Amino acid sequence: MASSATNTSNFSEDRHIWDSLKQAIAASSGFQNWQREQSLGNQRQGHSLDQQVRWYLRETLETLAY
């Protein structure tokens, strides 16, 4: 049982960290520019902030990999 409680606590903490990180990314100029570019191409509108941040991070990491 202790393991289950620990896992739940870790998940809650991880979720809090992700929410804070997501908000910081969403406030960044890079993300806001990316969002404007996406809206000009009419892509990914109407999706949650969570999903948009994930796409932004994926595209950014793919670009950095080259």
Of the candidates 32, 17, 9, the residue with the CA atom closest to the CA atom of residue 56? 32
pTM of the model: 0.74
Q: How far apart are CA 32 and CA 25, in angstroms?
A: 9
Are 9 and 15 contacting, i.e. CB atoms less than 8 angstroms apart? Answer: no
- The pLDDT value given to residue 47: 85
3-state secondary structure of 1: coil
**Phi-psi category of residue 51: left, alpha or beta, with phi > 0 → left and psi -120 to 50 → alpha:** alpha
Q: Residue 44 has what DSSP assignment?
A: S
Share of the chain above pLDDT 70, in %: 82
The whole-number pLDDT of residue 22 equals 96
What pLDDT is recorded for position 39? 79
Name which residue leads in pLDDT, 44 or 18.
18
